[in-house]
Amino acid sequence: MKKILFVSALAIFALSLQSCKSQKTLSEATTVADPASEVTEVAPIKYTNARPAASEAVAPAAPATPAANDRTEKVTVVDNGDSGLLKGYNVIVGTFGSKTNAEAQKAKMISRGYKAFLVQNAGGMFRVVAASFDTREAATAIRDVIRSTYANEAGTCAEAWLLIPQQ
């Protein structure tokens, strides 16, 4: 019996030593760019609030239809002050059964610079909308940025998706 205990303790000790291997820090793992390498400058993006002239009428957007990873459902905005924020394409960064948990995710996204708000579906689930857009292209671009920026947040931002609200 003592032999079994001794062998088991030795095996546990050996396994614990394996998990204590040193890991490189971020500064050790990154490499410094060669100063002689070529650097390309990129012009900053300029945003304007200009609207097209009356003679440049914009065609109405095509009806929203879901792509393979998009979802369509009837939702209502939770806070009446946010009712004007819901548009045709919404980037969802979390779904919660608890309003408290949804509010926490909403606060996290607001602290990161997003104009987040909550919607609730017919099943009572709270969805956290990080951003809302009139076009699929704009929503898809932000969804992809959120997925890549917060890739380590399993279950939330890393799995961001698009919601197209039903009328």
DSSP state for residue 22 in the 8-state scheme: -
Q: Which of 62-66, 75-79, 131-135, 140-144 bottoms out in mean pLDDT, i.e. has the lowest?
A: 62-66
When pLDDT is averaged across residues 133-140 and rounded to a whole number, the result is: 96
- Which residues have C-beta within 8 Å of that of residue 164, sequence separation ≥ 6? 64, 65, 66, 70, 71, 72, 88, 89, 90
When pLDDT is averaged across residues 40-69 and rounded to a whole number, the result is: 50
> Residues 101, 54: contact at Cβ < 8 Å?
no
Residue ranges per structural domain of the chain: 71-165
Domain 71-165 matching CATH 3.30.70.1070: the answer reads: yes
- Which residues have C-beta within 8 Å of that of residue 102, sequence separation ≥ 6? 94, 96, 118, 126, 127, 128
What is the model's pTM? 0.60
Which tens digit of pLDDT belongs to each residue from 147-156? 999 988 766 7
